[in-house]
């Protein structure tokens, strides 16, 4: 449910940015809008543009509402795949039983889309890991797609469970089992959560009681900001692979926090003039992060900033350089120039300029520690475990997933405290990563990268 709603909001956003109407016809006036539309759209007869997506759910409700929505007729009917029974908040149902029945159909649809591409780059997946479908079936699709396309980029937009609001009692089980798969099979995971999105809507945008559409709109802005260099020509480009190469210093540490600017309440928008230093100051602020953790509690390993609009590249570079110099304690000292900058000429609809921020911060360990703590409380008493073992799961899977998440937390702690001089102490640990890195490198080299 969650992933499909976020995905629908993202498609609405980029359909408008590319000047495409409800019938899939181009109605814009700027040739840049349509120049690289084929990155996300397939051009069919009569110059219609059809979004290239696969929407999967184990119950029909959300997909039906997308089909009957404003842009419902745009999406190819056979790219909407659903079962009828639902996963009932159970990871095992999504991964082993109900989800596995849909898997062949899903993979056939993905293959069909991939084979129609000229230079296929990778996948983007939107899902939540608190329920049963996004976590269980999401992990299964992630694993199978990774097996079939090992040399392609896999980025996920993952909604984490919130600290204060919980939709299901078994959230910690579903989340830890999913994070276990994300660590192994994803190249970049953008972490989001409803708590942070709610806080932004209430405190920054001054929306008294935010609806899900408000939260989804924030996520879609981050998604369109991250993908803007793929879709529009710019002065400094950053594709998915370039972004990952600059953002992920160690293969397992690929969990990002993201932010957007400008975020201004509707009633104060007319009083504000947005400049590049404004954008820079706002996007690094803790209250603008779309995941409920404070970056000041950790240090940035790497960052990426994407500016959109008529901005000077030099001004962007100088502003970011001044910020990183002034706040050098927030960045690890053993990665000297840790911020990547991309500049795109085309601003978002209705704005002069905007910026998207992505940070690989060690503070993200707080999210995993919080989920891990809740998991161990349930698992120690074996509470609710029978729902999972009845679907064919083994207790060992829970133990493995828990230890993998704990290892991840320890790795973040280790690199947070590391300094330039003590690299000798970490040689042993890095040996474990070396095999993985070379293995990936071999695959990429064969492919011409």
pLDDT at 446 over 80: no
Find all residues with CB under 8 Å of 413, minimum gap 6, and list them: 362, 365
The percent of residues above 70 in pLDDT, for the chain, comes to 92
Question: pLDDT tens digits, residue range 369-410?
Answer: 999 999 999 999 999 999 999 998 999 999 999 999 999 999
Q: How confident is the model at residue 270 (pLDDT cuts 50, 70, 90)?
A: low
62-82 pLDDT per residue, tens: 999 999 988 988 999 999 999
pLDDT score of 421? 75
**Predicted pLDDT at 234:** 74
Confidence of residue 153 (pLDDT cuts 50, 70, 90): very high
* Number of neighbours of residue 274 by Cβ within 10 angstroms: 18
pLDDT beyond 60 at 188: yes
**Chain centre distance of CA 19:** 25
**What pLDDT was estimated at residue 425?**
47
Confidence at residue 269, expressed as pLDDT on a 0 to 100 scale? 66
Residue bearing the bigger pLDDT, 265 or 327:
327
Residue 12: pLDDT band (50, 70, 90) is very high
Q: How confident is the model at residue 210 (pLDDT cuts 50, 70, 90)?
A: confident
Tell me what the mean pLDDT of segment 24-38 comes to: 86
Phi then psi for 293, rounded to 5 degrees? -150, 150
Q: Quote the pLDDT of residue 271.
A: 67
Average pLDDT over residues 97-117: 92
- Among residues 310, 286, 308, 303, the alpha carbon closest in space to that of 355 is found at 308
Does the pLDDT of residue 437 top 60, yes or no? no
CA distances for 102 relative to 61, 70, 279, angstroms: 17, 27, 44
- pTM of this prediction? 0.90
- Predicted pLDDT of residue 303: 94
- pLDDT at residue 165, rounded to an integer: 74
What are 160-187's pLDDT values in tens digits? 988 777 778 999 999 999 999 999 999 9
Task: Give me the DSSP letters along 40-82.
Answer: TEEEEGGGEEEE---EEESSSHHHHHHHTSTTGGGS-GGGEEE
Of 134-138, 202-206, 249-253, which gets the smallest average pLDDT? Answer: 202-206
pLDDT of residue 163: 76
pLDDT of residue 349: 79
Query: H helices then E strands: how many in the chain?
Result: 17, 12
Measure the CA–CA gap between 375 and 175, rounded to whole angstroms.
9
Query: Distance between CA 232 and CA 35 in Å, rounded?
Result: 8
Q: What is the mean pLDDT of the chain?
A: 87
- Residue 359 above 90 pLDDT? yes
In this prediction, what percent of the chain has a pLDDT beyond 90? 56
Residue 355's pLDDT band (cuts 50, 70, 90):
very high
Identify the weakest region by mean pLDDT among 10-19, 39-48, 160-169: 160-169
Position 208 confidence tier, pLDDT thresholds 50, 70, 90: confident
The yes-or-no verdict on residue 426 having pLDDT over 70 is: no
Q: What is the pLDDT of residue 449?
A: 38
Mean pLDDT for the stretch of residues 253-271: 82
* Across 319-325, average pLDDT: 92
Half-sphere CA count of 105, side-chain side, radius 13 A: 17
Q: Say what the pLDDT of residue 47 is.
A: 86
Task: Give the mean pLDDT of 120-130.
Answer: 92
The set of residues, in sequence order, having a beta carbon less than 8 Å from that of 148 and lying 6+ positions away, is 107, 111
Amino acid 405: pLDDT: 96
Identify the band that residue 431 occupies on the pLDDT scale cut at 50, 70 and 90.
very low
């Amino acid at each position: 449910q969650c992933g499909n709603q976020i995905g629908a909001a993202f498609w609405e956003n980029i359909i408008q940015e590319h000047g495409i109407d409800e019938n899939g016809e181009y109605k814009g006036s700027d040739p840049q809008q349509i120049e690289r539309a084929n990155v996300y759209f397939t051009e069919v007869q009569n110059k219609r543009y059809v979004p290239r997506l696969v929407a999967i759910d184990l119950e029909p409700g959300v997909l039906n509402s997308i089909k009957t929505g404003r842009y419902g007729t745009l999406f190819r009917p056979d790219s909407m795949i659903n079962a009828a029974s639902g996963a009932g908040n159970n990871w095992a149902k999504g991964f082993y039983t109900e989800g596995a029945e849909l898997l062949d159909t899903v993979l056939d649809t993905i293959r069909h889309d991939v084979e129609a591409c000229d230079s296929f780059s990778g996948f983007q997946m939107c899902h939540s890991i608190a329920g049963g479908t996004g976590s269980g079936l999401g992990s299964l699709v992630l694993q199978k797609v990774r097996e079939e396309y090992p040399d392609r980029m896999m980025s996920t937009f993952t909604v984490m469970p919130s600290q204060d609001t919980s939709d299901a009692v078994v959230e910690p089980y579903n989340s830890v089992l999913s994070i276990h798969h994300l660590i192994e099979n994803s190249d970049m995971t953008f972490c989001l959560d409803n708590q942070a999105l709610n806080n932004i809507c209430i405190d920054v945008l001054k929306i008294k009681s935010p609806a899900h559409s408000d939260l989804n709109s924030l996520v879609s802005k981050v998604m369109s900001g991250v993908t803007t260099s793929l879709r529009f020509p710019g002065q400094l480009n950053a594709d998915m692979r370039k972004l990952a190469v600059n953002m992920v210093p160690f293969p397992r540490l690929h969990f990002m926090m993201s932010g957007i600017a400008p975020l201004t309440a509707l009633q104060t928008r007319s009083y504000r003039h947005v400049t590049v230093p404004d954008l820079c100051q706002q996007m690094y602020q803790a209250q603008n992060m779309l995941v409920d953790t404070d970056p000041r509690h950790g240090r940035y390993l790497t960052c990426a900033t994407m500016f959109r609009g008529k901005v000077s590249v030099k001004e962007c570079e100088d502003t970011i350089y001044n910020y990183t110099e002034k706040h050098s304690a927030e960045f690890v000292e053993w990665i000297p120039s840790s911020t990547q900058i991309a500049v795109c000429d085309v601003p978002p609809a209705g704005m002069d300029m905007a910026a998207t921020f992505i940070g690989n911060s060690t503070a993200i360990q707080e999210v995993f520690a919080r989920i891990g703590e809740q998991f161990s409380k349930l698992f120690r008493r074996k509470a609710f475990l029978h729902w999972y073992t009845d679907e064919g799961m083994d207790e060992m899977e829970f133990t493995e997933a828990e230890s993998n998440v704990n290892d991840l937390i320890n790795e973040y702690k280790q690199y947070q405290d590391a300094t330039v001089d003590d690299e000798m102490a970490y040689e042993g640990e890095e040996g474990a990563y070396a095999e993985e890195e070379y293995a990936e490198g071999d695959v990429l080299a064969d492919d011409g990268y």
